[in-house]
Amino acid sequence: MSEIAILQAFEGMPDERRGQGKRHSLSLCLALFTLAIAAGNQGFEAIGDWLKSYSQELRQLFEVESLPSYSTIRRVLLKVDYVDYATRLSQFFGVIPEPGETVSLDGKTLKGSYIVQENNPTSEPHPAVILVTAYVVEKGLILPPLQVEFGSNEITALPELIKDLALFGMVFAFDSMNTQKKTVETIVKTGNHYIAAVKGNQPTLYDGIQAQFLPTETFTQVNKGHGRTEKRTVEISKVGKHIASNWTNASTIIKIQRERKLRNKIERETCYYISDLRESASQFAERIRGYWGVENRVHYIRDVTFGEDRSRTRSGFLPSLWAITRNLAINLYRGAGFTNMAKAQRYCGYGLKHILALFRMK
């Protein structure tokens, strides 16, 4: 079999299948799965059709006599450790954040991934899967996610993801639900920094911030496009002693006022953040705007371009494995210079040569 990078990425992964009747290697099954999703396939039957369409070319590429069926690939995936799989894909692509970059953390529910029936042979009944995504703002790339344990929640999962990522010198940004003392403490202890959104779910902190906010610097941005004008005013203030003593290393309060002028109305919103960084108002504006991008540069793309919310894949870790591979496809598209992910996916659907170019395969 050819020495192809995507195959080598999966070499050494534990194969839980019985030796009897095993015709196709684990590496081949996983490599074909990743290629098929990058080509825009949104289900196992679609993967089967794709394999048949390019059967001859794929057999020549991988130097094998036959290809696994989509059902074989599905059975292989049911026994795969999603954490190991995600780590190997990240290493394959080479997502390496640099100190000082912003990592946006946000959870997403895979809406169709729940199981209610009691007689499913491959999975117990469970609620919808929640994945916490780590998105490197400056690179536009996605790191390995963490699946929230059933019965737990995003709040308890976030510190574990930060430890698992094993990064140093990064700036983690997250929403108000995850603004918890344990999370902030974990970030600082691991040698990183934070920008934490603050809302009414932390009433003492929220009221304290509003009461003591005295702006020391202001930065304003105005953007026009798509029939609207958006003005963002960013002000920063020093943190008072009471907040600083309760929130590890807190030193700056950030206040952002957003005004959107549409054709028939004006929308206004005020947001607050706390951070252990001491940066300028313009620097905070850039980081926080990048943090907001996780919604439309990751979640929206997985939902709309890759059909994630419509997916009814539910068994075992299959929902997470699909989501992780969609992340790889997004990274590959951006790594190839695409800014429009739907266009990139269409391009890959035009022929096998385009997908192979994406994976740097010949």
Q: Is the pLDDT of residue 21 over 80?
A: no
Please tell me the predicted confidence (pLDDT) of residue 2. 45
Residue-wise pLDDT for 286-345, tens only, equals 999 999 999 999 999 999 999 999 999 988 899 999 999 999 999 999 999 999 999 999
Q: Which residues contact 160 (CB under 8 A, 6 or more apart)?
A: 146
More confident residue, 332 or 2: 332
Q: Is the pLDDT of residue 61 over 90?
A: yes
Tell me how far CA of residue 362 lies from CA of 75, 302, 355, 358, in angstroms. Answer: 28, 28, 10, 10
What mean pLDDT do residues 137-148 have?
95
- 41 φ, ψ (degrees, to nearest 5): -70, 135
Distance (Å, rounded) from C-alpha 218 to C-alpha 199?
A: 21
Distance (Å, rounded) from C-alpha 8 to C-alpha 30?
A: 11
Please tell me the predicted confidence (pLDDT) of residue 119. 66
Please tell me the predicted confidence (pLDDT) of residue 3. 59
Beta bridge partners of 252: 238, 275
Domain boundary assignment for the chain = 5-80+317-358, 97-304
On whether the CB atoms of residues 84 and 153 are closer than 8 A, the answer is no
Instruction: Count the Cβ atoms, other than its own, within 10 Å of residue 264.
Output: 5
Number of residues assigned to the chain: 362
**Which residue type occupies 342?**
A
* Residue 188 three-state SS: helix
Tell me how far CA of residue 84 lies from CA of 27, 113, 130, 149, 344, in angstroms. Answer: 13, 21, 18, 16, 27
Residue with tokens 């109305």: 265
* Residue 2 three-state SS: coil
On whether the CB atoms of residues 313 and 112 are closer than 8 A, the answer is yes
What is the H or E stretch that residue 216 is in?
none
Please tell me the predicted confidence (pLDDT) of residue 362. 42
Q: Which residues contact 316 (CB under 8 A, 6 or more apart)?
A: 77, 78, 122, 123
pTM of the model: 0.92
Distance (Å, rounded) from C-alpha 194 to C-alpha 345?
A: 34
Please tell me the predicted confidence (pLDDT) of residue 1. 37
Distance (Å, rounded) from C-alpha 111 to C-alpha 102?
A: 28
CA nearest to 95, candidates 58, 136, 63, 148:
136
Tell me which CATH homologous superfamily contains domain 97-304: Transposase Inhibitor Protein From Tn5; Chain A, domain 1 (3.90.350.10)
